[in-house]
Amino acid sequence: MRSSLALAILSALALPAQALEIDGRIDPAEWADARHVTEFRLTQPLSWGSAPQPTEAWVKATPEGLAIAFRNQQSADAPRTRHRTRRDESAPMDRVNVGVDFDGDGRTGYNFMVTLADGIADEIVTNENSFRNDWDGNWQHAVTEDDAGWSVEILIPWYIAPMRKADGDTRTIGLYMDRVIGATGERVASVNANWVRPRYLSDFEKVEVATYTQSLLAVTPYVVGVHDQVGGGQQFDAGADIFWKPNGQTQLTATVNPDFGQVESDDLVINFGAEESFFSDKRPFFTENQGVFDFGLLLDNSQLIYTRRVGGHSDDGDGPAEIAAAVKLNGSLGATNYGLMLAEEKGDAGRSFSALRLQRELGAHSMGLLATHVDRPWLQREASVVGVDHRWKAGDKVTVVANAVVSDIRDDNTLEVGGVPTVVADDSRDVGATLVVNYEMNPRWRQQWLAMHFGGAFEINDFGYLSRNDLNYGHWQVSRRFSNLPANSAYSSVDLRLRAIGIDNDDGLRLQRQFRAIAQSQRRDGGDEFAQLNVNSASYDDLLTRGGNALYRPPNASLNWERFRPRKGDWSWKAEASVSGGGLSGNRQLGLDTYIEPTYYVSDALNVFAGLSTELTPDWLVWQYDNIVGRYRERALSLSAGMNWAIGQRQELRVKLQAIGLDAELKQAVEVQPGGRAQAVEPTGAPVTDFSLRNLGFQVRYRYELAPLSHLYVVYGRGGYMLDEFSAGTDEQWRDSFSLRDSEQLLVKLSYRFEL
């Protein structure tokens, strides 16, 4: 194995250093005092075999930041992928990654990716292997290419992330470097780590580098103007984001009158279910070093802080709330990391949000606390949540992660008592807890045990996100990884997982009993493939009637398949298909969903795509009112199309179109009885009828990068939604969606980052 990085770095202190120029040309004089890494081995497939293409890297700590260089040889039998990508776009391209855990404790990491076409992505890594690409950092990168291969140089400033104070002249960091060959999907790394395993951050190589610190004050003012093409009139606004890092241990981020105009449009979602749709956040203030506040509850997308709540729908129902100001303080005191966040909305209906996060490493144990509070004066409601999380590395093979959360809600309702307005408190308190145990028996076999409990009055959605409470969940999973497949196989690796799932609510009602089989594969063409089989026994749905009687549902099954093939020549494509039973018919009537999306590359800088989706659900259940449910034959057709044009290194033009047509033909109206059975009825309340809808989202966005993290945006957007209480046919609704014009806006935004 390699010698310690500390030897190279510390010996370099005695030598005259030559300043680095990040130009993609690896000058031997500039990197003479760097540590030279020549051993890279396969981690995708996860075999730790020899690298198929020679790869080497250099690492050195400088006063300006952590510097890394890659030299990637690439023979003619491994075609190079050079097409341009948007920032943070995931694509099967030739690329390199650098993972850095600045505190070396496995708590928070940062991933920096550079492609052969000099495209970049940056991500925050928490909870060992959870990646979030919402954050954008300011770091340097450059790429050069020649006949034998290509080279990359990267410089990551020390101010890019908060880090604990070093003890002496060196600090211990976690370091990971890899290179991906786009044509085959093969990945080679400097350390035997992979995010598909229970531990990823903890497997980074612990190395010592010289201690440097940098301070930074950056102010990013913005101005924005919006012209409303439908309602008429114009709106103008201005504000600023402030970033101040006085030293390595403290970082302050603030925003005044932040702009939340849409330059990034959300995907269209049609949701008639009882669970709220989840959307990620791209607003700079809420993504800047947000990783310290991560506190998930294992259920899909669950978290104690869901930043879309801030500036979300106003409590008085008058559109989105306006944010007056927000501030976030991150840092460390000794071995304890902390985070403090405050946000205030404008007006009588404005809410006040606050959060405190503490984390501390205790050898094999990692402890944390997160406390949040939301004051909602318009609703006379206060919500407090306190959670404690614990990670235990129990030896080399077992990892245990647990948390416990308490919610405390106070609702003060004004009622007439004896003709006198009286405030009546309606308080509730409940708990939630999760536990997951990962046991990696050997490089091939692993097991997982997972349990969740959320009480019936457990409530975190004033600031956080939880799709449902009143839940008791458990599963056991066994997995087998196949990495050394024959050379003539279409697959380079296959990961098989078998899972048994049981879910009840607090009343002991069976919500799910499921057997699940998953095959996740990497293919030798650089693409991937996914297949999943779910077999469900009879169970009850206690959410459909929104608090009414739970509905009994017969056994059903579903099979889902996904395939992605990367660019070969001028084309790439992805496809999905699923067959599923459900509703009250079980497996007697099967639904079919399909999706196909080809992408054509006009050049490395310009591509166009068009994805077509069809959906047939023969027994779709939609709640109407009380215990009345409609059974529908549902069909939908949707188009997702667009264009991506990288006009040089600084300019980008994107076109995004989504059009949906849906038709639901009523088969029967039923009433859910107290025992869960559905009985056909003629509703005595509002009639239950056919319905159909159409939805449109269209955006043209031009972006010009004036300087790092400084942009000019010109955005045209149009959209609309129409729900009809009759059946109009899927094709007709889809065609008519293009005429929708509920909103039409032209937005111009200018932001510029001044570093002082």
**129 pLDDT exceeds 70?**
yes
Q: Quick one: average pLDDT of 185-193?
A: 94
pLDDT-above-70 percentage for the chain: 96
How far apart CA 721 and CA 743 sit, in angstroms, is 10
What confidence tens digit (pLDDT) does each residue in 99-115 have? 999 998 888 899 999 99
What confidence tens digit (pLDDT) does each residue in 655-710 have? 999 999 999 999 999 999 999 999 999 988 889 999 999 999 999 999 999 999 99
CATH number at residue 78: 2.60.40.1190
How far apart CA 180 and CA 191 sit, in angstroms, is 14
Question: Do 658 and 736 fall into the same domain?
Answer: yes
Question: Do 544 and 624 fall into the same domain?
Answer: yes
| Inside any domain, residue 522 | no
Using a CB cutoff of 8 Å and minimum separation of 24, what contacts does 5-8 make? 5/35, 5/59, 5/175, 5/205, 5/207, 5/208, 5/209, 6/170, 6/207, 6/208, 6/209, 8/33, 8/34, 8/35, 8/60
State the pLDDT at residue 19: 73
Residue 32 DSSP symbol? T
Q: Quick one: average pLDDT of 429-452?
A: 96
Q: Quick one: average pLDDT of 191-217?
A: 91
Half-sphere exposure of 39 (CA within 13 A, CB side): 7
Question: Do 157 and 185 fall into the same domain?
Answer: yes
Question: Do 107 and 233 fall into the same domain?
Answer: no
572 has which bridge partners? Answer: 599
| Inside any domain, residue 747 | yes
Boundary (domain end) residue, out of 213, 229, 253? 213
Task: Point out the least confidently predicted range of 12-16, 212-216, 524-528.
Answer: 12-16
Q: Quick one: average pLDDT of 34-39?
A: 94
Q: Residue 592's domain spans which residues?
A: 215-238+538-756
State the pLDDT at residue 162: 84
pLDDT band of residue 1 (cuts 50, 70, 90) is very low
State the pLDDT at residue 261: 55
Question: Do 77 and 184 fall into the same domain?
Answer: yes
Q: Quick one: average pLDDT of 180-185?
A: 92
| Inside any domain, residue 281 | no
How far apart CA 702 and CA 715 sit, in angstroms, is 6
State the pLDDT at residue 130: 86
Q: Quick one: average pLDDT of 434-442?
A: 95
How far apart CA 742 and CA 744 sit, in angstroms, is 7
| Number of domains observed in the structure of the chain | 2
Omega before 258 cis (within 30°)?
no
| Inside any domain, residue 734 | yes
Computed over every residue of the chain, the mean pLDDT equals 91
Contacts of 450 (CB under 8 A, 6+ apart): 298, 434, 435, 436, 437, 473, 474, 475, 477
What confidence tens digit (pLDDT) does each residue in 644-653 have? 999 988 999 9
Cα end-to-end span (Å), the chain: 43
Helix (H, G, I), strand (E, B) or coil at 471: strand
Question: Do 219 and 204 fall into the same domain?
Answer: no
State the pLDDT at residue 4: 43
What confidence tens digit (pLDDT) does each residue in 713-752 have? 999 999 999 999 999 999 999 999 999 999 999 999 999 9
Task: Point out the least confidently predicted range of 124-133, 322-331, 552-561, 608-617.
Answer: 124-133
**8 pLDDT exceeds 70?**
no
Residue type, 680: A
Question: Do 223 and 156 fall into the same domain?
Answer: no
Question: Do 54 and 189 fall into the same domain?
Answer: yes
Task: Point out the least confidently predicted range of 233-242, 549-558, 627-636.
Answer: 233-242
Contacts of 206 (CB under 8 A, 6+ apart): 104, 172, 173, 174
**12 pLDDT exceeds 80?**
no
Query: Within a 10 A sphere around the Cβ of 29, how many other Cβ atoms?
Result: 7
How far apart CA 9 and CA 5 sit, in angstroms, is 6
CA distances from 723 to 317, 344, 691 (A): 21, 35, 7
State the pLDDT at residue 416: 53
State the pLDDT at residue 648: 85
CA distances from 526 to 56, 406, 595 (A): 22, 45, 20
How far apart CA 179 and CA 192 sit, in angstroms, is 13
State the pLDDT at residue 334: 82
What confidence tens digit (pLDDT) does each residue in 352-379 have? 999 999 999 888 899 999 999 999 999 9
pTM of the model: 0.90
Question: Do 46 and 185 fall into the same domain?
Answer: yes
